[in-house]
Amino acid sequence: MRQISGALFAVLFFSSSVFAGGIVTNTNQSAEFIRMLNRNASMEMDGVYYNPAGLLQQDEGFQLYLSNQVILQQREVITHYPNFNFPSFSGETTVPFYPNVYLLYKTGELAFSAGLTPIGGGGSAEYPEGLPSFEFPVASLVGIPASVINPALAPYGNITGYSMDASFTGSSIYLGGQVNVGYAVSEEIAVSAGARFVSARNTYEGSLENVILSATNGSISGVIPNIEVDAVQTGVGYTGILGINFTTLDILNIGIRYETLTKLEVENDTEKDDTGALLDGGMFPDGAKTGADIPATLAMGVGYQLHPQLRLQAGLTYFFNEDVDWDGRQALVDNGSEYGVGLEYRVTNTFLMSGGILRTLSGATNASQSDLKYDLDALSLGIGARYSLNAELALTAALSHTSYEDGTNGASNEIFKEEYQKSSTVYTIGLQYAIR
């Protein structure tokens, strides 16, 4: 009977990055990224996102890039609170459709590009056995006399256990549409400027029913009322994007990109929210606004031709988490970063293989962690290959796996301590097409 979905808390899950990036920002924005995990110095089509100034190294004409990622994430919350029916809560985040679309037109010393990406969110979270924070108001009744709830319940004796049914669904996407203009100052130096429009939308619908308390002298129902939720959150924001690229002797390439702080606030449009029965004020007060800024980002990458067949790419991305408005949570986090290195080996003129490693430091502290939202430091490994069918068409396939370090909420009282675990696997394919 005890079946609870974690999707009610999707507002907190979905605002997190799905795989690579900062606490909010997704940086896994192409199949090429998955095969190398380092693309800040890209001079290929995914440079629309990673290195817009580097697109001046592309051939003249139109080009199109499409990719999709399938992201599977396992989560585990381990508790020490003795009243829960189970000591751990397992969950899954599944993202079957995570597209990246890029367009480029290069003419002379100018490059015009556009992209459409899930810059934040993009997943769904489900915990078939619930979440501690949702279940706690009920579990905390275990061990107390039923008369504390209502004097009329005194004949039942003490509360000894509980069960409940719930069904919740949620969806979220922070969709980013961007445009860039690049200019070749010289054969070695190019600059770019661009802007991104971010549209955020989270939806929630569900119910919690049939809460039954077990007691010394029978079962008690109706003490906790049924709950229904039907709410939507929406908001928009704007990002400025500046870039510079330096290339020399076809051996060394350096790309730098800066993205400004994206001011973003999501507002509740709530048809129904009965969660006030368990949580003071409810989860989705109609018209309430929540700070959901996307931090400013500084990204730097280096590409170096070690050998005619072997190329190295290294990168660093820095997230200015401390400068955002997250309704006070920013005071509990540090700035974050990710850095790594990738290698690409050209087996033949049409086939290449690659791999990479990426270290992510989220910037989250123990004080900022909870079962509703936790961000863990991680190590990712990626491998992949690209095959050029002809001069116009190339296909990419890749996969990556991320292992996260265990985290904790750092509670001083051992019974309220929680431990957090997570792992992610990504499968992807990409297509690049040049219109000659």
pLDDT, position 6: 37
Provide the β-strand partners of residue 74: 92, 423
pLDDT, position 417: 92
Domains and CATH numbers, the chain: 6-435 (2.40.160.60)
How do the pLDDT tens digits run along the chain, 436 residues long? 333 333 344 344 445 666 678 888 999 999 999 999 999 999 999 999 999 999 999 999 999 999 999 999 888 899 999 998 888 888 788 889 999 999 999 999 999 999 999 998 776 667 776 678 777 888 889 999 999 989 999 999 999 999 887 666 667 789 999 999 999 999 999 999 999 999 998 877 777 778 899 999 999 988 888 878 888 899 999 999 999 999 997 899 999 999 999 999 999 999 988 877 666 667 788 888 989 899 999 999 999 999 999 999 999 999 999 999 988 888 889 999 999 999 999 999 999 999 999 999 999 898 888 887 788 999 999 999 999 999 899 999 999 999 999 999 988 888 999 999 999 999 999 999 998 6
pLDDT, position 4: 37
Residue 60: partners with Cβ closer than 8 Å, 6 or more residues away = 106, 107, 108
Give the pTM: 0.90
pLDDT tens track for 119-142: 987 766 677 766 787 778 888 899
pLDDT, position 1: 35
CA distances from 35 to 345, 381, 391 (A): 12, 9, 21
pLDDT, position 10: 39
pLDDT, position 277: 62
pLDDT, position 328: 84
pLDDT, position 114: 98
Measured CA angle at 274 (ends 271, 92), to 5 deg: 90
